[in-house]
Structure 1
Amino acid sequence: MRIVTFTKRGAKMGYQALYRVWRPQRFEDLVGQQMITQTLKNAISTGQTSHAYLFTGPRGTGKTSAAKIFAKALNCHHQQNGEPCNECEICRAITEGRLNDVIEIDAASNNSVDEVRDIRDKVKYAPTQADYKVYIIDEVHMLSGGAFNALLKTLEEPPENVVFILATTEPHKIPATIISRTQRFDFRRIDMRDIYERMEYILKQKNLKYEEPALKVIAKAASGGMRDALSILDQVLSFGGGEATLQNALLVTGSVTQEKLKNYLQKIFAQQTAQALDELRLILEEGKDANRFIEDVIDYYRNLLIFKTAPEMLAKEELSEDVKSLAENASTKVLYEAIDILNQQQQNMRFSTHTDVYLEVLTIKLTQLKSLDSEPVTTEAGQTIKKLQEQLQSLQQQFEKFKSAADSRKDENTQNKISTKNKVQHRNVPKVDLKKVYPVLTNATRDSLVQLKSIWGDLMTMLSVTQRAMMNITQPVAASESGVIVSFKYDFLCKKAMSDEELIDALNNGLERLVGGKMTLVFITQTQWPEMRKKYLVEHKDELENGKEEKKDAVRSQKDAVVTEAEKMFGKDVVEVKED
């Protein structure tokens, strides 16, 4: 006998994680990315959208959510001010992931050349339901080199009704040729306060109890990622039976209570090594995470240092009496050294399975820190200082004797140094190819130079951050219709740029898009440019003068023609010629 069961429509579904239930469905729901969301909304509402976008930033900051919202708003016929309505059939289909015209691709598992070629072939077909086909490629940096090359042509000349949105956490792994063909948006880490307010809003909507310190612990542990914060909150609620308490948040995140941290640091500052190690043992026995513990200690030292130097920067809730008392009894020098030791030990712990050993060594090092100005000067120390002063005086006398002898050789040494320095500088000056410079100068015009200078800022925005830093102090100094000479302020940057193929490729692609044709790039230093221009004028003096005479003859013949025509029309007696 066969038994058939039916699921009642509207029956209760399985539990969904908070970050899935509360995933943003409108641009205004995205937390901490106001500049990006406003730019995208304006582009949609004014119809000035691009064919390709690059969303970069840490995990859990809203890149994929923004891509889906953009896809909805782009295809929604009822969008208002760039926001999707989320009620029409298109919006609902995209939200539920059942619209064939919005294709999500995980590049981590679909990174071969064949899969990208398949996209390239299918992109030619028109969308079936929506106005635009939107390809969302997540973790795009995982594509292979061949796959990027296959994608390049499609990004360069896509069909009118296709939009690509590339998302990645590691933009430095993406070729410059890909980046230059997209509009880039950098998603930043979300502020702790914004994360806290979002979690508070969600808990109030669900009518769940919570303690404010618990949400602060979670927001801090999330390290700027909203998805991580909601995942931790989910764990805390599950552990606490639907209630978010401070104790449960500390247990889930592996953080340390302020009371235990205060006891540990009081032993540190009192230089009680054995007692500090006992406090550390008690903390670790409770199962606290070693990496989270060292981050809590760093944060505590940071509060102490800021309180001593700029107390107004600390929030009121951070100004506890414990912080004040410890800060008053600690020198700034000790706090600086302690933070350096903590950072170094934190780096060492990343590659070790014996983190407890590193924490014990760290504790001993911190207890042994002592400010020099707090050490009393004993009688024995005073005698030692006196002897050192006498030795210093004797050495100064000997120095004066040697100085008079050294002055006689000073001029000779100075000349040698200047000669050596000139040779080194000459070696560092990059060589300029005259075969490229002279053709640009021969055809150079002021109009071409003015055009290049007007688009130079737009060209810089197409480069990566590193490339912009290298080209930030450059400017075009001469230009023709097919070439441009770029002047560098520093010789070493010019030399480095000459050998940077990715930079040259990005500049060529950018210029081709902005001026509509290929241009020859010539790099030259700021000191080389006047010499090179003078040399060109001397070597081509006759050609330039002939060119001027030819222009004068042309103007003169043009004037003669005008006079002849005037005499025909009005008669020679009436026409009078006056020279300019």
Structure 2
Amino acid sequence: MSYQALYRVWRPQNFIDVVGQEHVTKTLQNALLQQKISHAYLFSGPRGTGKTSAAKILAKTINCEHAPVSEPCNECAACLGITNGTIPDVLEFDAASNSRVEEMRDVLDKVKFAPTAVNYKVYIIDEVHMLSISAFNALLKTLEEPPKHVIFILATTEPHKIPLTIISRCQRFDFRRITAGSIVNRMKLIVEETGVDCDERALQMIARAAEGGMRDALSLLDQAISYSQDRVTVEDALTVTGSVSQGFLNKLAHAFQEGDVASGLETLDELLFHGKDPARFIEDLILFYRDMLLYKTAPNLEESLERVMLDDEFRQMAETLPTGQIYQLIDMLNKTQQEMRWTNHPRIFLEVAVVKLCQMEVKQADHSEPGHIAQLVSRIEQLENELQHLKANGIAATAQDEAPKPQRAAQKSAKKVFQPAVGKINEVLKLATKNDLNLIKANWGEMRAGLLKSQAALLNDAEPIAASADAFIIKFKHEMICQMAMNRTDFLEAVIAALYKLTSKRYVILGVPEDQWPPIRESFLNSQHGGEGEISGPAKEEEPHITEAKKLFGEEFVEIVD
């Protein structure tokens, strides 16, 4: 075969050609110049972002005859041999097809031998997460203490499947998804070098369909060039990527806005007739309204738009469509997308969704709309005028007579606020010790396991915060839960009985809401030491590790944070 795919012809041969991964390439280049090369690297990230390419470039740069350098010369025998794959010291190992421990041992048996053609043996293990547990165990010891002449470079798209013992022995570099702008710039360079006539909007469409992968983008570009005649147009890009043209999306959006069911169904039939995938179509429609929402709320973030081109028709539609209606459209489309995943007839769900969207009633207008704010201001002015008129006619006295009623209602509601037993809490704090609290905490989980589910649920967001020999304080996150727990005698008795079985002590339980605990604690500290912030008595006992820290570093350098 004389023809090669674009992504193979234009595979990066220097670090500067690795697009969108400057945080990785700069770190590697600095390490190469300073000769601080690690024995193992882990490159992780989405597909088509340059992991294997960067690994090969790193292998060339390490073994370049002009080393130490930040870029391979690509002219010496070592660089050319590694590029062509003729140097046996640089081995690219595919873990996806060689996942068994036997293949891994066969490779590791040759690690101890010195390189024959270059300075370093480099093992590039691609898709390393596919190795079996036995293969990982075989790799582990060698990876921990390899010979000085060996470097391992592991590449993976799923780092969470790699054992932590392997990851901890590598320098990890996370490759990011490449932005659409960077992909477009790279494709422009390739198109100019190859002499292909291509519409810039088609390149943008391909870049967004690639979802951050340069290899996917170049494969789609290669396919679009083959599909097109003399020039790669937007329609060619849409056909290759399976996306829906913005004209169709605009037409559907108009049908939704005007409630035209016939026009919406006709547009949908035309799209499906042209072979568009229903799942891809509804995804495009969700992204269309997502971009409209972003453009409406943050028009300067044009780079964040994933699907649309900012033409006049789209801008006009975004200005007239309320934000609240966009929320409704996205919500209904998202529900339809979820339903389509579990059906054999996605077209039916699409047609039903189109009818619903055309007949959708717009909810109450968004309060952030300028017109709504003007209506509110006008209504407030009208009410103020009516109030002045009522006061002038002497009706204000009646309103004053009725004024105490809301106060009484407020007083009634205030009585419902939970009031912790501050006096008893202070008595517990005076006798509190760390050992008593640690005893409660040590048995806390086992105590909860012995309660009924309804009783244990009250302690989901609760924890003991102070304890003496015969009582302890529980802090509840929510005041309502605290009040409910402290008013239930069956709950208190169950907790006391469960702790008695574990500690042989019968405790008194006191509860306090989380928002009321800081002022109670601060008041107690102030009453004990005039605001010095220390608790006297047994609670002041200093823990051994704090005493040891003061001895090692000096008391003035140790800060104790509760």
TM superposition score normalised by structure 1: 0.64
Please state how far the C-alpha of 1:430 moved relative to its aligned partner.
Answer: 5.5
Q: 1:406 to 1:146 in 2, by over 3 A?
A: same
Give 3-state SS (helix, strand or coil) of 1:123's partner: coil
State the partner residue of 1:273.
261
CA offset digits 1:357-399 (Å, max 9, x no partner): 3322332343343333369xxxxxxxxxxxxxxxxxxxxx999
Task: Verify the 8 A CA contact 2:324 2:365 in the aligned structure 1.
Answer: no
State the partner residue of 1:319.
310
State the partner residue of 1:215.
203
- Hey, what's the Cα distance between the residues in 2 that align with 1:172 and 1:15? 38
- Hey, what's the Cα distance between the residues in 1 that align with 2:260 and 2:423? 58
- Hey, what's the Cα distance between the residues in 2 that align with 1:150 and 1:415? 61
Please state how far the C-alpha of 1:416 moved relative to its aligned partner.
Answer: 9.1
CA offset digits 1:324-360 (Å, max 9, x no partner): 2222222111112322333343344445443323322
Is 1:176 the equivalent of 2:167?
Answer: no
Match of 2:331 among 326, 337, 340: 340
Task: Verify the 8 A CA contact 1:132 1:163 in the aligned structure 2.
Answer: yes
Q: 1:102 to 1:318 in 2, by over 3 A?
A: same
Task: Verify the 8 A CA contact 2:296 2:319 in the aligned structure 1.
Answer: yes
Q: 1:241 to 1:328 in 2, by over 3 A?
A: closer
- Hey, what's the Cα distance between the residues in 2 that align with 1:338 and 1:361? 14
Q: 1:537 to 1:314 in 2, by over 3 A?
A: closer
State the partner residue of 2:16.
28
Match of 2:321 among 321, 330, 337: 330
Count of matched residue positions in the alignment of Structure 1 and Structure 2: 413
State the partner residue of 1:361.
352
- Hey, what's the Cα distance between the residues in 2 that align with 1:124 and 1:298? 56
Q: Which runs of 5+ in 2 are unaligned?
A: 367-403, 429-436, 444-475, 478-520, 522-533, 553-562
The amino acid across from 1:207 in the alignment is G
Q: 1:330 to 1:79 in 2, by over 3 A?
A: same
Is 1:239 the equivalent of 2:227?
Answer: yes
Task: Verify the 8 A CA contact 2:32 2:68 in the aligned structure 1.
Answer: no
Is 1:205 the equivalent of 2:196?
Answer: no
Is 1:73 the equivalent of 2:64?
Answer: no
CA RMSD of aligned residues (A): 3.8
Please state how far the C-alpha of 1:61 moved relative to its aligned partner.
Answer: 0.4
Give 3-state SS (helix, strand or coil) of 1:103's partner: strand
- Hey, what's the Cα distance between the residues in 1 that align with 2:184 and 2:143? 39
- Hey, what's the Cα distance between the residues in 1 that align with 2:111 and 2:6? 35
- Hey, what's the Cα distance between the residues in 2 that align with 1:370 and 1:211? 40
Q: 1:105 to 1:266 in 2, by over 3 A?
A: same
State the partner residue of 2:113.
125
Please state how far the C-alpha of 1:151 moved relative to its aligned partner.
Answer: 1.3
- Hey, what's the Cα distance between the residues in 2 that align with 1:81 and 1:368? 66
- Hey, what's the Cα distance between the residues in 1 that align with 2:111 and 2:213? 33
Match of 1:50 among 16, 35, 38: 38
Q: 1:359 to 1:180 in 2, by over 3 A?
A: same
State the partner residue of 2:491.
none
The amino acid across from 1:35 in the alignment is H
Match of 2:122 among 134, 158, 167: 134
The runs of at least 4 aligned residues of structure 1 exceeding 4 Å deviation read: 350-353, 397-408, 413-420, 426-430, 530-541
Task: Verify the 8 A CA contact 1:213 1:246 in the aligned structure 2.
Answer: yes
TM superposition score normalised by structure 2: 0.66
State the partner residue of 1:90.
78
Q: Which runs of 5+ in 1 are unaligned?
A: 1-12, 376-396, 433-490, 493-526, 549-580
State the partner residue of 2:279.
291
Give 3-state SS (helix, strand or coil) of 2:331's partner: helix
Match of 1:104 among 79, 88, 92: 92
Give 3-state SS (helix, strand or coil) of 1:73's partner: helix
Q: 1:16 to 1:536 in 2, by over 3 A?
A: same
The amino acid across from 2:282 in the alignment is I
State the partner residue of 2:458.
none
- Hey, what's the Cα distance between the residues in 1 that align with 2:544 and 2:20? 60
Using the TM superposition, name which of 239-248 and 58-67 deviates more: 239-248
Please state how far the C-alpha of 1:159 moved relative to its aligned partner.
Answer: 0.7
The amino acid across from 2:327 in the alignment is Y
State the partner residue of 1:382.
none
Please state how far the C-alpha of 1:25 moved relative to its aligned partner.
Answer: 0.7
The amino acid across from 1:342 in the alignment is L
- Hey, what's the Cα distance between the residues in 1 that align with 2:40 and 2:423? 54
- Hey, what's the Cα distance between the residues in 2 that align with 1:244 and 1:84? 35
Task: Verify the 8 A CA contact 1:256 1:293 in the aligned structure 2.
Answer: yes
State the partner residue of 2:154.
166
Task: Verify the 8 A CA contact 1:76 1:88 in the aligned structure 2.
Answer: yes
CA offset digits 1:80-105 (Å, max 9, x no partner): 74111111111111111121111111
Task: Verify the 8 A CA contact 1:303 1:314 in the aligned structure 2.
Answer: no
Give 3-state SS (helix, strand or coil) of 2:122's partner: strand
- Hey, what's the Cα distance between the residues in 2 that align with 1:276 and 1:24? 46
Please state how far the C-alpha of 1:419 moved relative to its aligned partner.
Answer: 11
The amino acid across from 1:159 in the alignment is P
